[in-house]
């Protein structure tokens, strides 16, 4: 299922902004954008990633902002690590052997984009690469968002339910 055009029109400039930040030689701070289509209100929450408590407080701040603006979507952008695609089927063994993805020699730098909507959650990755000959400036290619079956964890289910909808429940696309 493809992402509806209305969402794509809002998030593509935000993805472009992340690209411009890297291309300017700056680090990408983890951030979540919270938006309402009807009021055109948009807020953002920068993540605090120091420890589990800081992450919990960030998730709480995102959820509260989503309630305050009666959000239609939540877009999170962050830098992270993933395991090389050809090693993904060995994920559990790699974690067991090295203790974390970060410590693994199979670690790959990635930019993660997660979009939660009333119609489901989409996610995609960008893989940073040097921009030209610069050692500081980076860029990334096209980000393809794919619909997820589910999203769990502290940064999952950030949108509040609408009246008559259960928390985390998606409504069918029209």
Q: Does 23 map to a domain?
A: yes
- Phi and psi at residue 58, in whole multiples of 5°? -65, -45
Residue 152 lies in a domain: no
pTM of the shown model: 0.83
Whether 164 has a pLDDT exceeding 90, the answer reads: no
DSSP secondary-structure letter at 130? E
DSSP 90: G
- Burial class of residue 94 in the structure, from the number of CB atoms within 10 Å of its CB (0-12 exposed, 13-18 middle, 19+ buried): buried
Q: Within a 10 A sphere around the Cβ of 50, how many other Cβ atoms?
A: 10
The answer as to whether 11 is a domain residue is yes
Residue pLDDT, tens place only, 83-112: 888 888 888 899 999 998 888 998 888 999
pLDDT over 80 (residue 172): no
Burial 6-24 (b: 16+ CB within 10 A, else e): ebeebbeebbeebbeebee
Q: How many domains does the chain have?
A: 1
- 164 domain-assigned: no
What are 108-157's pLDDT values in tens digits? Answer: 889 999 999 988 899 999 999 989 888 889 999 999 899 988 777 667 77
pLDDT top residue among 74 and 166: 74
Q: List the domain range (segments joined by +) for residue 108.
A: 5-147
Q: Are 94 and 104 in contact (CB under 8 A)?
A: yes
Provide the token pair at 74: 């939540």
85 in a domain, yes or no? yes
Higher pLDDT among residues 167 and 43, named by residue: 43
């Amino acid at each position: 299922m493809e992402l509806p055009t209305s969402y794509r029109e809002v998030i593509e400039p935000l993805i472009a902004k992340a690209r411009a930040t890297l291309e300017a030689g700056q680090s990408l701070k983890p951030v979540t954008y919270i938006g309402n289509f009807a009021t055109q209100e948009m807020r953002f929450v920068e993540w605090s990633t120091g420890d589990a408590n800081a992450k919990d407080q960030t998730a709480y701040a995102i959820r509260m902002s989503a309630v305050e603006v009666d959000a239609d979507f939540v877009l999170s952008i962050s830098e992270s690590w993933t395991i090389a695609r050809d090693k993904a089927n060995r994920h559990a063994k790699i974690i067991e052997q090295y203790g974390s993805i970060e410590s693994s020699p199979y670690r790959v730098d990635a930019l993660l984009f997660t979009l939660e909507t009333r119609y489901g959650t989409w996610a995609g990755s960008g893989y940073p690469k040097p921009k030209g000959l610069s050692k500081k400036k980076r860029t990334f290619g096209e980000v393809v968002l794919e619909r997820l079956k589910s999203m769990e964890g502290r940064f999952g289910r950030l949108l509040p339910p609408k009246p008559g909808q259960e928390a985390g429940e998606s409504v069918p696309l029209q």
